[in-house]
């Protein structure tokens, strides 16, 4: 049979980038869908392959792991996008929680989206939502500030939030918690209501609530341990009008 003059065009279907949340402390928070995606992916990008390796062992996942973190993401993202264009399914995880939320992930997601690649983020574990819901502070409107700059720009960032009326969420190291609370008290006022949530989903999870001044006193006497989320009430609109 003569096939001269007939050209066969192969359509390459681009792959999908999956952003996969992982537990922030309790392995039982891993979803069935997340496990399936990690097992079916061609490769899994991990913030720390050793940490993710423990997760893989727990759930019997054998997918190839590749290191992808804040120190190399600008250099590796281009090659990852090319693999996605070639049809590979790639999953991205961080050490804990949802990638991109105070963790590597934003840059790759942006580059993949710019290239026309489908980016799907699975619902799942993150520390900020349990912290605000457990805080007892309004959670119908809030702003997530993540980690503040440690030095340059920190005071300016806080001063810009002085009139914020929404509940605010911050991540902080236990070693800097007391200093952070003192700075918050200076900017927002000592009587501003707040909550410090630590060790979310772990055995010793707790939320300590009170004014910023009370929280400074508490954690000065009881040094905190574990991962910290600070939730601070927004400025009272009634007080704003009186001013």
Write the pLDDT tens digit of every residue in 42-52: 999 999 999 99
Q: What is the reported pLDDT for 96?
A: 95
88: pLDDT confidence band, cut at 50, 70 and 90? Answer: very high
Structure tokens at 62: 């054998």
Write the pLDDT tens digit of every residue in 112-162: 999 999 999 999 999 999 999 999 999 999 999 999 998 888 999 999 999
Average pLDDT over residues 83-91: 97
Residue 234 has φ and ψ, to the nearest 5°, of -75, 170
Instruction: Give the residue among 11, 13, 16 at the shortest CA–CA distance from 112.
Output: 16
Write the pLDDT tens digit of every residue in 187-204: 999 999 999 999 999 999
The mean pLDDT of the chain is 92
Domains annotated on the chain, with CATH: 16-121 (3.40.1010.10), 128-242 (3.30.950.10)
Structure tokens at 48: 């720390």
- Alpha-carbon Rg for the chain in angstroms: 22
CA–CA gap between residue 125 and residue 33 (Å, rounded): 13
């Amino acid at each position: 049979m003569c096939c001269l003059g007939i050209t066969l065009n192969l359509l390459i279907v681009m792959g999908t980038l999956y952003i996969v949340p992982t537990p922030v402390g309790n392995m039982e928070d891993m979803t069935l869908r997340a496990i399936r995606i990690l097992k079916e992916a061609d490769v899994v990008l991990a913030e720390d392959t050793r940490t993710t390796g423990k997760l893989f062992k727990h759930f019997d996942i054998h997918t190839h792991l590749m290191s992808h973190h804040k120190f190399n993401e600008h250099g590796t993202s281009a090659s990852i996008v090319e693999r996605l264009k070639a049809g590979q399914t790639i999953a991205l995880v961080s050490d804990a929680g949802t990638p991109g939320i105070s963790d590597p992930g934003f840059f790759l997601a942006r580059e993949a989206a710019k290239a026309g690649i489908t980016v799907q983020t699975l619902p799942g574990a993150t520390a900020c939502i349990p912290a605000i819901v457990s805080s007892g502070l309004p959670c119908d409107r809030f702003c997530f500030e993540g980690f503040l700059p440690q030095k340059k720009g920190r005071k300016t960032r806080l001063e810009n939030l002085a009139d914020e009326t929404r509940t605010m969420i911050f991540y902080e190291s236990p070693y800097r918690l007391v200093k952070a609370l003192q700075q918050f008290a200076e900017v927002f006022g000592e009587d501003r209501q707040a909550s410090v949530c630590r060790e979310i989903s772990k055995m010793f999870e707790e939320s300590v609530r009170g004014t910023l001044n009370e929280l400074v006193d508490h954690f000065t006497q009881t040094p905190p341990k574990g991962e910290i989320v600070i939730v601070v009430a927004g400025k009272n609109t009634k007080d704003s009008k009186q001013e």
